[in-house]
Amino acid sequence: MKESIQNVRVENSFANLPPSFYTRLSPQPLTEPRLLHANPEVAALLDLSPAALAKPDFLDVVAGNQPLPGGQTLAAVYSGHQFGIWAGQLGDGRAHLLGEVVSPSGRWELQLKGSGRTPYSRMGDGRAVLRSSVREYLASEAMAGLGIATTRALALVVSNDPVYRETVETAAIVTRVSPSFVRFGSFEHWSSSPENLGALLDYVVDRHYPECRDAVDGAPATQARVALRFLRAVTVRTARLLADWQTAGFCHGVMNTDNMSILGLTLDYGPYGFMDAFQVDHVCNHSDSQGRYAWNAQPSVANWNLYRLASALLGLGVEADALKEQLQEFEPAFLQAYRNNLCRKLGLLAWTDGDDDLLDDWWRLLHTQKADFTLSFRSLAQAPLDSAQFFQRFHDRDAAGAWLDRYVQRLAQEQRPDPERIEQMNRSNPLYVLRNHLAEGAIRAAAQGDVGEIDTLLKLLRDPYTEQPGHEAYAAVPPEWAGRLEVSCSS
């Protein structure tokens, strides 16, 4: 591993696109920046040793004081639909792409979030606050621990610089890591420019979807065929991502097309939330007054967003009916991943007739009882043998017992050994998730310069399925005050 960030291999593939795709500019440094936390697991992806994270040149790069050695710093332009309404040109309003690190594990773009104004900031100040930065830093690693596709977080830098939101807060910068930060909105931006749209398609396909160029009957695939295959692949990845979100009780909060990754990654952690008390129409974003991005609406919103991506590809002369045909892959891909996930969470070997009814009644039970999402699923492993923990989750014991009887009967059909089933279920139903009140505790400690809660949460969230003695409070029903926490688009 490299002992200094000066020694990593850097390329600039996005910077090789036409100049209209971005603006080259430097970040706006923070005053007296401090490295609050660095992530050795993500550093290892970049072939950086833990020792490299403690050196001054690392802080210089992740604070925006110096460019990534060999990198070409830029802010990308894109457009998008926000809350279902066309917003026109958007772009990296508070983010700077530093370059692309090439390591044995792959190619990783490094992006600073909160690093100052760009030509795409509109009325924004280009900054991120400590509160939202800690939440993103922890959330991306929590999702990785759950095995859900996501961007990652390398470093968290703080400063005493004031940032004005609902109140005066302090500034921070998160270094985000991803194979690509291209979004659905990147394609929407160029929908009326066939030349640039084609260049973007070539760039993304060549780097991330090369199989879309496979020959057909010995002949090279046409641009139209590549576009169709690309849309199909993105549709399937997005469907699988949404199945993972739904079965983890995760709500993104702002599923605008400019927040949808072209690689099917969880991107842009703002007002997200892991559900505590289950409500099928739970809205985690206080700014979402219409409930557009409620938990039960997320799959349909993702499908709607894919239609917006398909509409952008019309600019390449692809037939509308052919594009619609690719989009039909969303529902079967989602259902297959959704049912596979739930088979593991429920301890079933295979989905059979009648399981949809059993699951619907499970969601109904959780909803009417406002039962804790994570702990209710976790309690199912032992419920057929010892139902005490299970019944603790519900105030209507009769309703819970009636459903449990049906569940036990369903398990009996497979005659699966209990130890085998329990092991699978406990590796599929996490004990620890990043609940809002846990993130809030880490934020309050970090504001005092204490990273102990960040360290503890990262330890638990990297292996959320294994019980850690002495950390019972992190796997408990949230305290009463947690219900008063609100996250919004300013988060």
Catalytic center residues: 258
Q: Are 99 and 110 in contact (CB under 8 A)?
A: yes
Beta carbons within 10 angstroms of residue 96's beta carbon? 29
3-state secondary structure of 469: coil
Q: In the numeric block, which tokens belong to residue 275?
A: 């559900």
The DSSP element (H or E) to which 112 belongs, if any, is strand 106-113
The DSSP element (H or E) to which 273 belongs, if any, is strand 273-274
DSSP helix, strand, coil percent of the chain (3-state; round to 5): 45, 15, 35
Closest CA to 53 of 36, 71, 65: 36
Q: Are 287 and 251 in contact (CB under 8 A)?
A: no
- Of the chain, the end-to-end C-alpha distance in Å amounts to 35
Closest CA to 234 of 270, 255, 214, 205: 205
The DSSP element (H or E) to which 305 belongs, if any, is helix 298-313
Q: In the numeric block, which tokens belong to residue 423?
A: 């092991």
Q: Angle of helix 298-313 relative to helix 330-346, nearest 10 degrees?
A: 150
Closest CA to 174 of 1, 30, 3: 30
- In 347-394, alpha helices (H): 355-369, 373-379, 388-392
Q: Are 326 and 228 in contact (CB under 8 A)?
A: yes
Closest CA to 262 of 177, 179, 325: 179
